[in-house]
Chains A and B, each alone.
Chain A
Amino acid sequence: MHITRKEYLLEQKEKGRRLMGVFPALYPREILWALDIVPAEIWDPPLEIRQAGAHLQPYICSVVRLGLELILQGKCDFLDGFLFPHTCDSIQNLASVIYDFIGARKPCYFFYHPKIPHGHTARDYYLKNLKALAAELKRQFGPLKMDSLREKVDMGRRISELLGELYDLRAARRLDASNEAFYRTIRKGEYLFPDDYIAELEGFLTQTRSEESRNGATIILSGILPNPPQILTLLDDLDVQVGHDDLLNGSRRLLISNEKPGDPFEYMAECYFHMPPCPTRGSSISDRMRHLLSLINATGAKGVIFNVVKFCEPEWFDVPNLQEELKKRGVPSLVLDTELNQGLSGQMKTRLEAFIEIVRVHRESITTKH
């Protein structure tokens, strides 16, 4: 598929589908799909901040800043509504700024999910909010047929299988794709309707599946999203592969459940509570650490890069503890404090390259010992 995101969305609109601007990160996409709504996720639009600064404090992350700028510049006028999941306080308050203060002149929806990733009450709360959102969307966008919802749940499941296969192949070094190409493809799920995304992922799998194992150093990439993209291209230039990620818009959203879909709402809840740990869902440090270590073991990665968006509170609260735990286990880690779409300064490049030099020496010394 060689058309831009905007062209694709306008094409979908012409087909009669509705378009929903969705802020990060976790939301029941199957419900939107079943209502023939295309979710267009808003993470990091490539814009210069001109107007958003007037409405936000300086110490707010650039996901929020860029999202507001996108609306203020009139670049969302073709959308039919907005959905704000309660990912963090900043996105929650952005919803207020847009809905209560600026006035979005479009329907706005809010999706609250529990901040405790386990327990019956959390599950009940999640199910209640899933159904409440479905009811609200139904009022505006027409009937929600259960058959259609079941079909979209199956498609979501297929997407997860394909993504899981791509991640597994990459972890086993049997994916012949650059870091940049991998995330360019994965991120198309931020706006493609499921049938198109499935076709995209299947095509990418066919093109990149490799019988030969890749060599070279491997790292784990943690954080919100792979931006600035120059991080990926620099890793490609250094012949370093991201073996796995712990990214909010990457593997942290992989819906993993071995259960067969029965009731679609129950299944969506099941998936939510089986997602990998994430600070935006209130996961504990020990769960996150266990998960990171499992990714390191599965890929043979020799280091972890925390690429943290500046002022992203949920991420920053955990990073010092995770770094300390990794250090105790002899795993090198690097923290990059980045602004979206701002590229990498010379010093940032130096830090990243120096970290890779450490990882390589670490890898060589382990190889020598064995």
Chain B
Amino acid sequence: MTYFAGIDVGSLSTEAVIIDEDATMLGYSIQETGADPVRAATEALREALSLVGVSREQLHHVVATGYGRINIPFADRKITEISCHAMGAHHLFPDTGTVIDIGGQDSKVIRINAEGRVLDFTMNDKCAAGTGRFLEVMAGTFGVPVQELGELSLKAQKEIPISSVCTVFAESEVISLIAQNRPREQIIRGLHRAVVSRVWGMAQSVGIEGAVTMSGGVAKNRGIVALFEENLGHSIHIHSEPQIIGALGAALLARGEIHQK
């Protein structure tokens, strides 16, 4: 049996996915990236291989993606996360026409064709506005785990608009609102709306077509997903582990390269 691995080295987390020659996902690992992306990638791959009982020697091809892809010494090839998220989302949900990926330090909207190839994309590239890092900073301001933000947002009957998605300005705005004793859930829902509006605005430049799949860690936030669905007027595909879609796409592209040869 031949195996393939994809490794997505993101700013906050690193994922490794192992697939077999039939493109079946066998297992995965998620690690914090921290200050050493190579160590995180090595550890993610080691753990994923160990979970599925495959040795490093049995891996035929490894593709690295994510911002840390350039430094991964054991990758046979490096491919951008844009192509990898497109391929991963297409594999899991073949009717996907648009992928919304909100990661740790950037957000992307990717239009894809029926083969999972990228037709067009847009991404923020100047600051952390509307990204996972934004939500992490805001969670810190409220003193709640970032994983709980979504549920808190869903509890709000109303929302308090936040005028800026700049992480620094929004944080000071939130501190002022907390000082005014405004309901926490309503502020959080306002923050979620700011993130969604920012990404929604980006999406207009490439257009949203076909079914929408969301990937990246922020797709685990039910509050964000609900607001996107409200804008779209229909539901979004969310995989049980949306963080691994980039790494899965990388593994599929690793397999695809071998099949092409």
A146 within 8 A of B: no
Q: How many pairs of A and B residues are in contact by the CB < 8 Å rule? A: 38
CB-nearest residue of chain A relative to B79? Answer: A357
Q: How many residues of A are counted as interface, with CB atoms below 8 angstroms from the partner's CB atoms? A: 12
Q: How far is the CA of A101 from the CA of B80 in the complex (A)?
A: 49
| Residues of chain A contacted by B119 (CB below 8 angstroms) | 358
| Residues of chain B contacted by A346 (CB below 8 angstroms) | 67
Asked if residues A354 and B83 are in contact (CB atoms below 8 Å), the reply is yes
Write the B102-131 contact mask toward A (1 if CB under 8 angstroms, else 0): 000110000000000111110111100000
Write the A334-370 contact mask toward B (1 if CB under 8 angstroms, else 0): 0000000000011110110110011001000000000
- 19 A-B pairs within 8 Å (CB atoms) are namely A345-B125, A347-B106, A347-B123, A350-B80, A350-B82, A350-B125, A351-B121, A351-B125, A353-B80, A354-B80, A354-B82, A354-B83, A354-B118, A354-B121, A357-B83, A357-B118, A358-B117, A358-B119, A361-B118
CB-nearest residue of chain B relative to A348? Answer: B125
Q: How far is the CA of A86 from the CA of B133 in the complex (A)?
A: 44
Asked if residues B120 and A350 are in contact (CB atoms below 8 Å), the reply is no
Write the B52-84 contact mask toward A (1 if CB under 8 angstroms, else 0): 000000000000000100000000000111110
| Residues of chain B contacted by A351 (CB below 8 angstroms) | 121, 123, 125
Q: Which of A81-121 contact B (CB under 8 A)?
A: none
Give min CB distance, B90 to chain A, whole Å. Answer: 13
| Residues of chain B contacted by A194 (CB below 8 angstroms) | none
Asked if residues B124 and A347 are in contact (CB atoms below 8 Å), the reply is yes
CB-nearest residue of chain B relative to A356? Answer: B80
| Residues of chain B contacted by A300 (CB below 8 angstroms) | none
| Residues of chain A contacted by B81 (CB below 8 angstroms) | 350
Give min CB distance, B9 to chain A, whole Å. Answer: 11
| Residues of chain B contacted by A347 (CB below 8 angstroms) | 67, 105-106, 123-126
Give min CB distance, A352 to chain B, whole Å. Answer: 9
| Residues of chain B contacted by A361 (CB below 8 angstroms) | 117-118
CB-nearest residue of chain A relative to B119? Answer: A358
3 nearest A-B residue pairs (beta carbon): A347-B125, A354-B82, A354-B80
A229 within 8 A of B: no
Give min CB distance, B128 to chain A, whole Å. Answer: 11
A332 within 8 A of B: yes
| Residues of chain B contacted by A345 (CB below 8 angstroms) | 125
> CB within 8 Å of A: which residues of B?
67, 79-83, 105-106, 117-121, 123-126
Q: How far is the CA of A354 from the CA of B120 in the complex (A)?
A: 9
Q: A353-B80, A358-B120 are in contact. List 14 more A-B contacts (CB 8 A).
A: A346-B67, A347-B105, A347-B123, A347-B126, A350-B67, A350-B80, A351-B121, A351-B125, A354-B83, A354-B118, A357-B82, A357-B83, A358-B121, A361-B118
CB-nearest residue of chain A relative to B106? Answer: A347
Q: How far is the CA of A347 from the CA of B79 in the complex (A)?
A: 13
User: Which of B79, B123, B125, B126 has the most A CB atoms < 10 Å from its CB?
Assistant: B125
CB-nearest residue of chain A relative to B118? Answer: A358
| Residues of chain A contacted by B80 (CB below 8 angstroms) | 350, 353-354, 357
Write the A129-153 contact mask toward B (1 if CB under 8 angstroms, else 0): 0000000000000000000000000
Q: How far is the CA of A55 from the CA of B83 in the complex (A)?
A: 44
Q: How far is the CA of A346 from the CA of B67 in the complex (A)?
A: 6
Q: How far is the CA of A351 from the CA of B125 in the complex (A)?
A: 9
Q: How far is the CA of A346 from the CA of B126 in the complex (A)?
A: 10
Asked if residues B123 and A332 are in contact (CB atoms below 8 Å), the reply is no
Give min CB distance, B159 to chain A, whole Å. Answer: 29
| Residues of chain A contacted by B125 (CB below 8 angstroms) | 345, 347-348, 350-351
User: Which of B79, B117, B124 has the most A CB atoms < 10 Å from its CB?
Assistant: B117
CB-nearest residue of chain B relative to A344? Answer: B125
Give min CB distance, B247 to chain A, whole Å. Answer: 16
User: Which of B80, B121, B124, B126 has the most A CB atoms < 10 Å from its CB?
Assistant: B80
Give min CB distance, A209 to chain B, whole Å. Answer: 33
| Cβ-defined partner of B120 (8 Å) among A332, A353, A357 | A332
Give min CB distance, B237 to chain A, whole Å. Answer: 22
Q: How far is the CA of A332 from the CA of B80 in the complex (A)?
A: 17
User: Which of A347, A348, A354 has the most B CB atoms < 10 Å from its CB?
Assistant: A354
| Residues of chain A contacted by B121 (CB below 8 angstroms) | 351, 354, 358
| Residues of chain A contacted by B126 (CB below 8 angstroms) | 347
CB-nearest residue of chain A relative to B81? Answer: A350
Give min CB distance, A153 to chain B, whole Å. Answer: 45
Give min CB distance, A59 to chain B, whole Å. Answer: 14
Q: How far is the CA of A351 from the CA of B119 in the complex (A)?
A: 13
Q: How far is the CA of A306 from the CA of B80 in the complex (A)?
A: 20
| Residues of chain B contacted by A358 (CB below 8 angstroms) | 117-121
| Residues of chain B contacted by A350 (CB below 8 angstroms) | 67, 80-82, 123, 125
Q: How far is the CA of A353 from the CA of B83 in the complex (A)?
A: 10
Q: How far is the CA of A358 from the CA of B124 in the complex (A)?
A: 18
Give min CB distance, B106 to chain A, whole Å. Answer: 6
Q: How far is the CA of A358 from the CA of B79 in the complex (A)?
A: 11
| Residues of chain B contacted by A353 (CB below 8 angstroms) | 80
Q: How far is the CA of A332 from the CA of B126 in the complex (A)?
A: 22
Q: How far is the CA of A358 from the CA of B115 in the complex (A)?
A: 13
Write the A259-303 contact mask toward B (1 if CB under 8 angstroms, else 0): 000000000000000000000000000000000000000000000
